[in-house]
Structure 1
Amino acid sequence: MNTAEVLRVFGLEPRETRIYLALLESGPASIRDIADRAGINRGTTHELLKRMQQKGVVSYFPKGKRRHFSAEPPSRLKELALNHQSQVLEAMDLLEEKVIPQLSHLRPVTGNADVHYYEGDDGIELVLKDILSTVSDQEERTYSVYSAKAIRKHLYRPFPNYTRQRVKLDIKVRVIAIGEGGEEAPLADRKWIDEKSSEDAGSYIAIYPPKVALISLSEGDLPTAVVIQSPTIANTHQTIFNTLWNSL
């Protein structure tokens, strides 16, 4: 992350960062001078300075008929970060205790499966994170996977430290590898199906009740995924997996 990206995480948008850096370099300055240095029109600069004053990163003092603004010391940015962290932690608590339960009640209750489609590396990263998030909330932190040879080298491309995160969360996985290969990993048990037809198998199926994720490659090695949330479907896949696992 560069400076602008770090400050954005803690509440300063890119134009505010440009203004803050311009003020650090110039010292106290009028709105016109700040706008010229930051390359932002005067009206927008004035509005941004008011927001930055509320955030505590700039202050002003009268000089004649004009206001001159100055940047607060960079150490003040740590206070901004700590305040942002406190707000995020409070929001996470409210999200868990109130917001998620309230929003969940808005969804209609039906017997149909809840199906979501994802595409590209960003989509696959969301699915992999969903596996970790869902399984980590369960009493028995274990899930099951069918892993085909053709997709293995593409699967963790968007999330290279996936296995490290899985182990950190103490999540176990049972893998039925279709075709040769597949690396051994901590907290992972692996068995193989060595079939000639495995060369045509190009998918990854994760079973983590109440969900099943099916990841495959489309033309140009573009990964796509379908996540099905259905206890009935997930439990059926789990039963089939367990039967096959015990027979290998």
Structure 2
Amino acid sequence: MNTAEVLKIFGLEPRETRIYLALLQSGPASIRDIADRAGINRGTTHELLKRMQQKGVVSYFPKGKRRHFSAEPPQRLKELALNHQQQVTEAMELLDDKVIPELSHLRPATGNADVHYYEGDDGIELVLKDILSTVSEQETRSYCIYSAKAIRKYLYRPFPNYTRQRVKLGINVKVIAIGEGGEEAPLADRKWINEKSSDRAGSYIAIYPPKLAMISLSHGDLPTAVVINSPTIANTQQVIFNTLWETL
């Protein structure tokens, strides 16, 4: 993580970081000089400097008819980070008790399944994290999956510590592996379907009521996923899985 990425986390957008670095290098400067050094047009630089002044990372003083701005010492960024940390902590405390319940009431109460689509490694990582998050909140921490041979090497690419996190949370999983292979892991029971045509089966299906996640590979081995939030669908798939599990 570079300097710009760190500062972005604590409230400075990339253009503000460019201005701050330009001011550190040049010392006090006019808006025109700052804009030239940062490579940002003058009007935008003026607006960004006002925002940065409110954040406390730049200050100004009059020089003739113009304002000259200067960067606050880098140690000021630590104060900005601590303030941001405190705000996040306070917001986290309100999430479960107030914010999430209020936002949940805004969603229409319908009998339709709630369906979400995800694409790419970032999307798959969100789905895997959702599995852990959802199951960890349940009294019985367990879920079931169908895992096809063709997708295994792509599945945990964006989240290589997935199994470690699952075990840390005390989550059990039952796996029906389609095709040979698959690694043994703690808190996991595995059975196989040695299907000759398993190479054509390229999906990973996770059943974790009230949700069902289906991950597959599209053209160019790009992983895509569909998550269905429907107790009826998830429970039906759970019954099918349990029945098949007993026959293997």
TM > 0.5 fold call:
yes
Q: For residue 215 of structure 1, what is the aligned residue in structure 2?
A: 215
* Inter-CA distance 36–218: structure 2 relative to 1 (3 Å threshold): closer
| 1:80-91 alignment, distance < 5 Å | 80-91=80-91
Q: For residue 42 of structure 1, what is the aligned residue in structure 2?
A: 42
Once the two structures are aligned, what percentage of the paired residues are identical? 88
TM-score, normalised by the number of residues in structure 2: 0.92
Q: For residue 236 of structure 1, what is the aligned residue in structure 2?
A: 236
Q: 5+ unaligned residues in a row in structure 1: which ranges?
A: none
Q: For residue 78 of structure 1, what is the aligned residue in structure 2?
A: 78
Alpha-carbon offset, residue 128 of structure 1:
1.3
Q: For residue 60 of structure 1, what is the aligned residue in structure 2?
A: 60
CA distance in structure 2 between the aligned counterparts of 1:159 and 1:173, rounded to whole angstroms: 17
CA distance in structure 2 between the aligned counterparts of 1:188 and 1:82, rounded to whole angstroms: 41
* Inter-CA distance 218–46: structure 2 relative to 1 (3 Å threshold): closer
CA distance in structure 1 between the aligned counterparts of 2:29 and 2:7, rounded to whole angstroms: 22
CA distance in structure 1 between the aligned counterparts of 2:197 and 2:39, rounded to whole angstroms: 62
Q: For residue 192 of structure 1, what is the aligned residue in structure 2?
A: 192
Q: Please give the per-residue CA displacement for 1:137-176, whole angstroms capped at 9, x wherever unaligned.
A: 2122211111011111111222222223323333222211
- Give the SS at the match of 1:105: helix
CA distance in structure 2 between the aligned counterparts of 1:119 and 1:43, rounded to whole angstroms: 38
CA distance in structure 1 between the aligned counterparts of 2:108 and 2:67, rounded to whole angstroms: 56
Q: For residue 10 of structure 2, what is the aligned residue in structure 1?
A: 10
CA distance in structure 2 between the aligned counterparts of 1:137 and 1:97, rounded to whole angstroms: 15
Aligned-residue Cα RMSD (Å) equals 1.8
Residue 138, structure 1, aligned to residue 138, structure 2:
yes
Alpha-carbon offset, residue 78 of structure 1:
1.3
CA distance in structure 1 between the aligned counterparts of 2:200 and 2:14, rounded to whole angstroms: 48
Q: For residue 112 of structure 1, what is the aligned residue in structure 2?
A: 112
CA distance in structure 2 between the aligned counterparts of 1:16 and 1:169, rounded to whole angstroms: 40
Alpha-carbon offset, residue 7 of structure 1:
0.6
Q: For residue 147 of structure 2, what is the aligned residue in structure 1?
A: 147
- Give the SS at the match of 1:140: coil
Aligned AA for 1:41? N
Alpha-carbon offset, residue 55 of structure 1:
0.5
Q: 5+ unaligned residues in a row in structure 2: which ranges?
A: none
Number of aligned pairs? 248
- Give the SS at the match of 1:158: coil
CA distance in structure 2 between the aligned counterparts of 1:123 and 1:30, rounded to whole angstroms: 44
Aligned AA for 2:152? R
Aligned AA for 1:47? E
CA distance in structure 1 between the aligned counterparts of 2:86 and 2:136, rounded to whole angstroms: 24
CA distance in structure 1 between the aligned counterparts of 2:22 and 2:218, rounded to whole angstroms: 48
Alpha-carbon offset, residue 177 of structure 1:
1.0
Q: For residue 102 of structure 1, what is the aligned residue in structure 2?
A: 102
Q: Please give the per-residue CA displacement for 1:50-85, whole angstroms capped at 9, x wherever unaligned.
A: 111111111122333332221111111111111112
Alpha-carbon offset, residue 12 of structure 1:
0.4
CA distance in structure 1 between the aligned counterparts of 2:235 and 2:162, rounded to whole angstroms: 25
TM-score, normalised by the number of residues in structure 1: 0.92
Q: For residue 176 of structure 1, what is the aligned residue in structure 2?
A: 176
Alpha-carbon offset, residue 126 of structure 1:
2.0
Aligned AA for 2:240? I
Aligned AA for 2:58? V
- Give the SS at the match of 2:197: helix
Alpha-carbon offset, residue 221 of structure 1:
2.1
